[in-house]
Amino acid sequence: MITRRELIGTASLFALAPRFAFAQGANAAATAVEAAKKYAGTEISIVWEAGLQSLDPLNFSGPKWEELTGIKVNVVEVPTDQMFTKIMQDYRSGAAAYDALNVIPSWMPDLVKAGAMEPLDAFVDQYGYRDELQDIAAAYRDNQMKVDEKIYGFPDDGDVMLLYYRKDIFEDPAMQEEFKAKHGYDLAPPTDWTQFAQIGQFITDKMAPTTYGAGFFRSAPYNHYMFQERFRMEGGKFFDAGSMACTVNSEVGQKVFEMMLAENKFMPPGVEQWNFVDNLANFLQGLTAMTISWPPYGRWAAGYGSGEEALNWVPKTQVAGKVGYALTPLGRPELGVGFALGVSSTSKNKEAAYLFIQWLNSKETSLQRVMLPYTLRDPFRTSHYESAEYRALWPDAPAYLDTIKTSGEKGLLDLSLLQQDKYDTAMVQAITNLWATGDAKASIDALAAEFDAITQKVGVDKQKEIYSAWAAKPGAYPA
C-alpha cells in the first residue's frame, strides 16, 4: 500500500540545475561549507525516508554539498515505519552505518534516552548557528529541538494539518442561500466538527456522485494523527497523570470514534480504505469538496510542479485556483509527523555530519529545499513564510503560507513517549477495527487496554516521567 511518505519507491533520478543562487558571506550556510572543506574526499551517510522525501538529498542537496565541499553524501533510504527500528539497531550494534539522522520528533525522547543521538550544543556554538535557529517557527523550535534542555535535532519540516476546501462551491450564491436557509449560518470553512458534518452532508446531498462533501485518508499508517487532534480538542486526555492509566476510552474518546464513523456516510464509498495518495487524487479530480492533510496538497492542487518528472504520479489537478486554505475544525491543527535532523552518537564523522545538517537546515539552503516541488519538505521558518520568492510561486501562495504559519502557531504536538511507535500502531489498529466493526465503544476500549499493556512493559514510572514532561508543553493539550 502506498502511503504519504512512501510514494515513489523506485523514482527515476535526474540531475537538476540549482534554481537559486547560494548566499555568499558569513552566514550559517557559508560557515558550514567553509568548515567542511577540510573533510573533502570523505563520505558521510544519512538515513532518509524512502520515496519523494529522498529526492531532496539524492537530486539536490546531496550533489550540491559534494560540489561545494568535496564530501560525498550516501543517502540510506528507509520506509517510514522502519526508520525508528533501523536507527536503534544501528546504535545498539555499534555498526555506525549512519552519520546524520532524519528522525520524527516524537521519537526523540526515546532515542536520546537510549543514547543514540549526539547532543549538538557544542557544535551549534562553535559554528555560530544559535542565532539562526531563532528563525525556526516557535512551534517547531520550542518543541522539536531539545530533550532535557539540550539540542539534539534541528526541526526541518513544517508538517501541520490544513483544511482544504473548494472555494467555487462554498462561494456559489445558490449554495450559500440554500445552506443558510437550512442551517441558519453562512456556508464557510467549518469551525467545529458539527459544522463540518452539516456542511459535508449538505454538499453530498446536493452534488453527489459528482462531488461529495469531504474525504480523508482513513487507512494506515497516518489516520491516528487526526484522532489525536480531535480527541484532545474535544477535551480528552490520553492518561491519568497520577497513575498513568489510559483514559482514551472516556466518553470523549467514544464520541470522537462515533463522529468519525458517522462522517464516512457522506464521503465517497470506500473512503475507509483511502490512503494519502487516494485522498489526494480524489480531491485534485474534484470528487471531494473538503479534505484535511499536510501542506503538499496545497501546492499540488494549485498545479505547482506539474511539469516535474518526479511528479508524474500526481493526477493533473482539476481544481487549480479553486482551493481555499483554513484551520482545521476547532482551530488547533495537529503538527503531524515532521522531521528533525540530528547526528548519530556512534558516527565516526560527527563533525562532518553536523556541518552537513547545519547547511541543510540553514535559512538559505532550507528555503531552496522547501520550494522544491517534488519533495515533501514543508515551510518551517519565519523567513519561509515571508519569502517574496515563495509567495510568488502561484496566485494563492500568500494565503497558503499565511495559513501554514497560523496553523503552526496554534498546532498540537504529537504524543511523544518511550516506544511511541507502539502507541501509534495501537491507534492505527483501533481505527482500522472501528471501520471493520462499526463498534465505537469496543474499538476505543481495546485501544485503552493496548495502551495500558504498552505502558506496563515500558515501566509506569519511566513512562510517567516522559509523559509529564510532554504534557507540560504548551502544545500538548489545548489551554
**DSSP per-residue string spanning 64-81:** HHHHHHS-EEEEEEE-HH
Separation in Å, CA 190 to CA 105, 193, 292, 420: 30, 7, 12, 31
> Which grid coordinates are listed for 451?
495502551
d(Cα 78, Cα 424) in Å, to the nearest integer? 18
* Residue 100, beta-bridge partner list: 46, 343
Cell numbers at 61, concatenated: 542537496
CA 314-320-324 angle, 5° bins: 110
For residues 323 and 376, give the distance between their C-alpha atoms in angstroms, rounded to a whole number: 19
401/313: higher pLDDT: 401
**Is the model's pLDDT at 253 over the cut of 60?**
yes
CA distances from 339 to 143, 145, 453 (A): 12, 10, 28
Amino acid at 73: V
pLDDT (0 to 100) of residue 479? 84
Residue 241 has pLDDT above 80, yes or no: yes
Q: Grid cell 509567495 — which residue?
A: 391
Q: By C-alpha distance, which of 320, 424, 308 is closest to 374?
A: 308
> How many angstroms separate the CA atoms of 167 and 20, rounded?
33
pLDDT for the residue numbered 343? 98
Q: Are 42 and 71 in contact (CB under 8 A)?
A: yes
Cα radius of gyration (the chain) = 22
Q: Which strands, in side-by-side order, build the sheet including 43-49?
A: 72-78, 43-49, 100-103, 340-343, 154-155
Whether the Cβ atoms of residue 455 and residue 240 lie closer than 8 Å to each other: no
Measured between its terminal Cα atoms, the distance across the chain in Å is 38
Q: Is the dihedral of CA 130, 294, 73, 45 positive or negative?
A: positive
Least confident stretch, 43-47, 304-308, 325-329, 394-398? 304-308
Residue 339 in grid coordinates: 522531521
Q: What is the pTM for the complete model shown?
A: 0.92
180-201 residue pLDDT tens: 999 999 999 999 999 999 999 9
CA dist 297 and 309 (Å) reads 18
Judged against a pLDDT cut of 70, whether residue 420 lies above it is answered with yes
List of E strands, 202-335: 290-293, 323-326
Q: How far apart are CA 383 and CA 380, in angstroms?
A: 9
Q: b/e for 56-95, b at 16 or more Cβ within 10 A?
A: bbbbbbbbbbeebbebebebbbbebbebbeebbebbeeee
Using DSSP, state whether 293 is helix, strand or coil: strand
Which pLDDT score, from 0 to 100, does residue 26 have?
Answer: 67
Is it the case that residue 58 has pLDDT exceeding 60?
Answer: yes
The CATH superfamily of 28-158+337-404 is: Periplasmic binding protein-like II (3.40.190.10)
Q: How far apart are CA 326 and CA 165, in angstroms?
A: 8
Q: What is the pLDDT of residue 81?
A: 82
pLDDT in tens, 7-47: 433 333 333 333 333 333 469 999 999 999 999 999 999 99
213/220 Cα distance (integer angstroms): 22
Residue ranges of domains in the chain: 28-158+337-404
How do residues 258-289 score in pLDDT, each as one tens digit?
A: 999 999 999 999 999 999 999 999 999 999 99
| Torsion sign (Cα): 16, 13, 339, 48 | negative
When pLDDT is averaged across residues 385-404 and rounded to a whole number, the result is 98
Diameter of the chain by CA atoms?
Answer: 71
Q: How far apart are CA 461 and CA 455, in angstroms?
A: 9
For residue 476, the model assigns a pLDDT of: 96
Q: What is d(CA 319, CA 300) in angstroms, rounded to the nearest whole number?
A: 10
| Pick from 263, 270, 285: nearest CA to 204 | 263
Q: At what angle do helices 28-36 and 363-370 cross, to 10 degrees?
A: 100
- DSSP-based helix, strand, coil % in the chain, nearest 5: 50, 10, 40
Q: Which of 295, 333, 335, 385 is nearest to 105 (CA)?
A: 335
Q: Dihedral sign for Cα 403, 409, 411, 414, please.
A: positive
Separation CA 156–CA 170 (nearest Å): 34
Q: Quote the percentage of the chain above a pLDDT of 70.
A: 95
How many whole angstroms separate alpha carbon 117 and alpha carbon 105?
A: 12
CA-to-CA distance for 387 and 179, rounded, in angstroms? 38
d(CA 350, CA 16): 28
